């Protein structure tokens, strides 16, 4: 056996494979990044420059921020933003309250029928939203809550899955802590606030982040429930801009709006990268 030849061959093959792997990974990275680059680039081109490029150019030498001004003045982008912010914050806050109470009841309190209700909750996890949206639409309409924040918010303030996730987390806290608190005369509610929530903070943060992402991107329900532009969220806003804003062909301004809408979540992601990725792999498909 020629050992040197084997060594050399192995090393060469290894290097080739590595190179090929990196090549493929870079290709996909470009595929992912390119739309982001293109929207940033287009948003910096002036209206006339963009429209005079029959063959699109991959860079611009005269960037302008005019489109961003247009995005905020020609269409009520700031209002969409504010609406989304209110919607996101209110939905997330109410949801956290509701699921914390429920998870606490399931994890710590003893009452008749608990197991039955919990099983029932778990069964509800399998119900797709698309199936219940129809009646919810009718209900909200009947209650005259179309084009209001309560109408937007109320149907999405509970999540069986998050109740389940939090309950599992609560259940891991040793019983001894609870009994110790009982001996000290701590009330259940205080125990929840002072002990369980701080211990479960990582899970709470994960749930919050996932819910914020979901709210920021929600489109279907807001579209059904609002037709007054004063109550549009960013997703509906962008659709509105596309169909009626700016005049059809002002693509640079549209791209500016898209950039503005995308930035908050991307920033949030870059800040909490590890937490978000861990949270998503623990539970959550998009939508």
Partner 1 sequence: MKVVLEHLTKSFPSRNKKVKEPVIAVNDFSFEIPDGELIGLLGPSGCGKSTMLNLICGLQTPTSGKIYFGEDDVTNLPPENRGVGLVFQNYALYPHLTVLQNILFPLQNLKGAARPSKEEMMNKALDAARLVQIERLLERKPSEMSGGQQQRVAIARALVKRPRVLLLDEPLSNLDARLRLQTREEIRRIQRETGITTVFVTHDQEEAMSISDRIVVMKAGLLQQIGKPQEVYDDPVNLFVAKFLGTPPINVFEGEVRNGLLYIGENSVLQAPGAPDRKVWIGVRPEGFLPEQAGPLRCTLSGVEVMGRDISVVASHPACSAAAIRAIISAESAVDPKAETVRFALKPNKVHVFDRESEERLRIELK
Partner 2 sequence: MEQKNAKGWLYLLPAIAFLGVFMVYPLVDVFVYSFEEGYNSASQTFFGVGLYNYSYVLHDPYFLQALKNTFLLVIITVPLSTGLALLISVGLSSIQKLKDLFQTIYFLPYVTNTLAVGLVFMILFKRTPYTDGLVNLMLHWFGAGPIDFIDGPHWAKMFVLCFYTIWVVMPFKILILTSALASVNQDYYNAARIDGTSRSRIFFRITLPMISPMLFYLIITGFIGAFKAYSDAVAIFGTDLNAAGMNTMVGYVYDMLYGDSGGYPSYASAAAIILFAIVLTITCINLMVSRKHVHY
Which position has the token pair 């996932």?
210
Binders of partner 1 among 4-43, rule CB under 8 A?
Answer: 6-7, 10
Percent helix, strand, coil in the chain (nearest 5)?
A: 75, 0, 25
Q: Which does 157 bind (CB under 5 to 8 A by kind): partner 1, partner 2, none?
A: partner 2
Q: Which does 1 bind (CB under 5 to 8 A by kind): partner 1, partner 2, none?
A: partner 1
Burial of 281 (C-beta count, 10 Å sphere; 0-12/13-18/19+) = exposed
Q: Which does 228 bind (CB under 5 to 8 A by kind): partner 1, partner 2, none?
A: none
Asked whether 177 and 253 are in contact (CB, 8 A), the reply is: no
Cβ 229 to partner 2 shortest distance, Å: 14
Cβ 270 to partner 2 shortest distance, Å: 8
Cβ 11 to partner 1 shortest distance, Å: 8
State the DSSP H helix or E strand holding residue 150, giving kind and residue range, or none if neither. helix 149-153
Cβ proximity to partner 2: between 61 and 270 the closer is 270
Asked whether 167 and 105 are in contact (CB, 8 A), the reply is: no
Cβ 44 to partner 2 shortest distance, Å: 14
Binders of partner 2 among 182-201, rule CB under 8 A?
Answer: 188
Binders of partner 2 among 90-109, rule CB under 8 A?
Answer: 97-99, 101-102, 104-106, 109
State the DSSP H helix or E strand holding residue 218, giving kind and residue range, or none if neither. none
Indicate the DSSP class of residue 195: I
Binders of partner 1 among 212-231, rule CB under 8 A?
Answer: none
- Distances in Å between the Cα of 163 and the Cα atoms of 157, 169, 203, 277 are 11, 10, 11, 20
How many Cβ atoms sit within 10 Å of the Cβ of residue 159?
18
Cβ proximity to partner 2: between 10 and 73 the closer is 10
Asked whether 84 and 264 are in contact (CB, 8 A), the reply is: no
Interacting residue with partner 2 among 36, 65, 171, 271 (CB under 8 A): 36
For 45-76, where are the alpha helices, taking DSSP H only?
47-52, 66-73
Query: Is residue 220 within the footprint of partner 2 (CB under 8 A)?
Result: yes
Query: Is residue 183 within the footprint of partner 1 (CB under 8 A)?
Result: no
Query: Is residue 139 within the footprint of partner 2 (CB under 8 A)?
Result: yes
Helix (H, G, I), strand (E, B) or coil at 62: coil
Closest by CA to 85, choosing from 187, 170, 212, is 212
Interacting residue with partner 2 among 77, 196, 204, 213 (CB under 8 A): 213
Per-residue interface string for the shown chain with partner 2, residues 40-79, x marking contact by CB under 8 A? --x--------x-xxxx-----------------------
Q: Which does 269 bind (CB under 5 to 8 A by kind): partner 2, partner 1, none?
A: partner 2
- Distances in Å between the Cα of 54 and the Cα atoms of 37, 199, 285 are 19, 59, 40
Binding site for partner 1 (CB under 8 A): 1, 3, 6-7, 10
């Amino acid at each position: 056996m020629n050992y040197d030849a084997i060594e050399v061959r192995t090393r060469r093959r290894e290097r080739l494979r590595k190179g090929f792997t990196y090549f493929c990974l870079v290709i996909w990275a470009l595929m992912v990044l390119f739309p982001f680059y293109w929207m940033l680039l287009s948003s910096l081109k002036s209206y006339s420059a963009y429209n005079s490029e029959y063959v699109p150019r991959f860079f611009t030498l005269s960037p302008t921020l005019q489109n961003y001004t247009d995005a905020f003045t020609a269409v009520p982008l700031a209002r969409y933003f504010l609406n989304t912010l209110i919607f996101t914050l209110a939905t997330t806050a109410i949801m956290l309250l509701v699921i914390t109470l429920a998870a606490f009841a399931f994890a710590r309190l003893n009452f008749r029928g608990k197991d039955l209700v919990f099983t029932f909750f778990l069964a509800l996890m399998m119900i797709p939203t698309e199936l219940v949206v129809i009646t919810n639409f009718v209900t909200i309409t009947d209650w005259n809550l179309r084009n209001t924040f309560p109408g937007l918010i109320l149907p999405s303030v509970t999540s069986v899955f998050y109740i389940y996730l939090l309950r599992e987390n609560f259940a891991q806290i040793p019983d001894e802590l609870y009994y110790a608190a009982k001996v000290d005369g701590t009330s259940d509610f205080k125990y929840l606030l002072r002990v369980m929530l701080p211990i479960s903070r990582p899970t709470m943060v994960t749930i919050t982040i996932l819910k914020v992402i979901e709210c920021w991107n929600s489109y279907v329900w807001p579209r059904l429930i609002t037709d007054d532009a004063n109550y549009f969220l960013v997703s509906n806003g962008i659709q509105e801009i596309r169909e009626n804003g700016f005049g059809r062909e002002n693509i640079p301004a549209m791209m500016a709006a898209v950039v503005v809408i995308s930035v908050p979540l991307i920033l949030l992601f870059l800040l909490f990268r590890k937490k978000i990725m861990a949270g998503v792999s623990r539970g959550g498909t998009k939508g």
